[in-house]
Amino acid sequence: MKISLDYVVFYLVFLVSKVNSITDIDVPSFQNVLESVKSSNNDLKVNLRCYEQLVYLADHPEDALKMADAWSKVHSGLLVASSIDLGDWDECMSIDINQENGFKLLGKHCVGGLILLINETLLAQSICIPNECTAEDLINLTSIPTFYDDKCSLNTDNTTLDKGAIISLLIFCSIGHLILLSTIYDVYLYLKNSKPYHSILVAFSLYTNGKKLFKTTKHAHQQILCFHGIKGISMMWIIAGHGAVGLTELPLFNVAMGKNWMYYGYSHYITSAHLAVDSFFFISGFLLAYSYFKGQYKKSVLGQISSVPHMILHRYLRLTPALLMLFLYVAFLSRYVGEGPVFNYNLKSLNIPCHKYWWSLFLYVQNYYNREELCMTQLWYVSADMQLYLIAPLILIPIAVIYKKSPKIAFISMLVLDALFVAAAIYVKLQFKDYDPNLDEYDTHSRLGDYFIGFTFGIFVRHNRQNFKKLPERLNFMIWCVVLVIMYLCVYLYHMSFRSTHYNDRAIGFCLTRTFWCICLCWLVFSCLNGQGGIINWILSNGFMQVLGKLTYCLYLVHGSVMVPYYLSVRGLTYLSDYNAFYLWCGHFLTSLLVGTLWSLSFESPMITLEKIIFSNKTSKPAKNEETEHHQNNIA
């Protein structure tokens, strides 16, 4: 069927002319534009290639209609939906015209290419135009501002690898070959019932590292098994929180729900996910003190001071390899794993800080130096945790000296310091409101209380673990009830602080709720270690949680990069509901779990073995308690 150009013109004129409540816009009809282009002999300040493509469309209405069909339409629900429409990106990208004479025309999709004013509401409509036409060309043709070129995409984008991507792929492939060769060698030894000539030969083996990762135990003298569950549940909570935030940022059918969802009373289970990060800080401080007071504190002061550089290097080598590989993926490869109308523009915005401030990421200072332009926002925590580890010896060594003389005075000193850290966090927030007006709390000083409450409790457990006495069942049950109520109140009051419009209320609320949250964690850990945790201890210590707990560092690293391609590949409006949020969480968690497992086996576990080989006198055999150290040195 032959399609008349009049039908094309009628359709496009409907899109951009004064109909119904569309006002304050005066756009020449598409027909007039094409006729002007053809008759002007390109006197309209349009680049030659754009001119040729527009003339082609004037002579081929079938292709013009396909391009027009990819434009945004004035859809129903304008008063309740998001003000941006993404058009049909895939249809626009499918336009690929090649002629024998060398003429070529591609569809170019531009988000927000046309702004309509409807009842004082600006609607950003997306358009599909010839690939050689620029924003300046369309402004010259229509005499109205249209779009920015950086918000346009072509099907030829991200089809060739740049130098950074090639080098990153070579690094990934090289490590992949090491893993393959190491695994083959390890399996060969297993079949021959032989031992490796040197442990470095199986450092990258999926078989050996997998056995360590999936090994579980019911009784552990050194590990705090309930920490696995606390870390695992905290990681699930964080993924749920980040996933919910991403969902509210999508173009929505019910935009009012997106704006208000986080402020609904029942949404406290989402907004209070920040407390999961406080659990990580608590555990990190606990494990540092718990491991240090196993025997390191017995050294002389000079001996302890001289061991600090090794502690820091040890920590850096444990954290950085997996982080480095994530950086290579995000900075150089992530743009090749997705596509969509907003993918390139938004991903570029997210990745600019990684190229600009890469050094602050690896020096673990980005939460202060470039706190408003973070490379992978969730990594502020990694920087903060590293900074706390760096300053911990300033307290660790003096407390160790005091502890050798009087454990009681050491405990009292730490309790006083904990109170001072909490008070200092509140004071700084109230006195320097301009530093963090939105209370994003990416800074380290806000978490000193969390970290050193865990630190104090770690010393307590190390000192008293062999002397724990069971409490009467009734008393234990009553304390559990009180603690669980307080923890729920912390969740709810954190949400109420989040909803508050008063800065002081929010600042004080955030600081106090996280403090009481960490105090409650002290009881939870104590009761589980004392054998009185009941079903809660079983949940936190079961085999699945033990594996999940070992994966939380890599899970924390990769979960954001798992979510980003999904959200940035959006094609149209989405409906926000609690069920959809839960459904997405399931997908995000399972995918992150898969990627995190591969990340841990490939980049984290091998470095644990290599680091031990480098710094251990016994290099031929892996350390006997390597699994324990994997747990204790995993920051998340």
Domain boundaries, the chain: 5-153, 177-632
DSSP label at residue 601: I
At 66, the pLDDT band (50, 70, 90 cuts) reads: confident
Among 20-34, 112-126, 515-529, 619-633, the range with the most confident prediction by mean pLDDT is 515-529
Residue 221 pLDDT more than 80? no
Query: How many other CB atoms are found less than 10 A from the CB of residue 390?
Result: 16
H or E stretch covering 540: helix 534-541
pLDDT in tens, 104-145: 999 999 987 666 665 566 778 888 989 998 888 877 776 666
Q: Could you give the percent of the chain with pLDDT greater than 70?
A: 87
Residue 9 pLDDT more than 80? no
Q: Could you give the percent of the chain with pLDDT greater than 90?
A: 69
Distance CA 212, CA 626 (A): 8
Return the pLDDT at 378.
95
Output the CA–CA distances (angstroms, integers) from residue 534 to 433, 528, 537, 538, in the order listed. Answer: 44, 8, 5, 7
Instruction: Tell me what the mean pLDDT of segment 62-82 comes to.
Output: 83
Instruction: Tell me what the mean pLDDT of segment 385-396 comes to.
Output: 96
Instruction: Tell me what the mean pLDDT of segment 251-260 comes to.
Output: 92
pLDDT in tens, 504-554: 999 999 999 999 999 999 999 999 999 999 999 999 999 999 999 999 999
Distance CA 138, CA 45 (A): 10
Least confident of 46-50, 241-245, 620-624: 620-624
Distance CA 136, CA 155 (A): 21
Query: How many other CB atoms are found less than 10 A from the CB of residue 355?
Result: 13
First and final CA of the chain: distance in angstroms? 64
Return the pLDDT at 18.
36
Q: Closest by alpha carbon to 524, among 468, 465, 476?
A: 476
Are the beta carbons of 491 and 275 closer than 8 angstroms?
A: yes
Least confident of 38-52, 163-177, 340-354, 358-372: 38-52
- Could you please report the per-residue DSSP string of 598-615? HHIIIIIHHHHHHHHHHH
Distance CA 323, CA 603 (A): 9
Least confident of 34-43, 146-155, 408-417: 34-43
Distance CA 34, CA 61 (A): 11
Return the pLDDT at 41.
58
Q: Closest by alpha carbon to 451, among 635, 300, 614, 281?
A: 281
Return the pLDDT at 157.
85
Distance CA 417, CA 459 (A): 14
pLDDT in tens, 400-433: 999 999 999 999 999 999 999 999 999 999 999 9
**Considering the entire predicted model, what is its pTM?**
0.90
At 10, the pLDDT band (50, 70, 90 cuts) reads: very low
Q: Closest by alpha carbon to 324, among 363, 377, 380?
A: 363
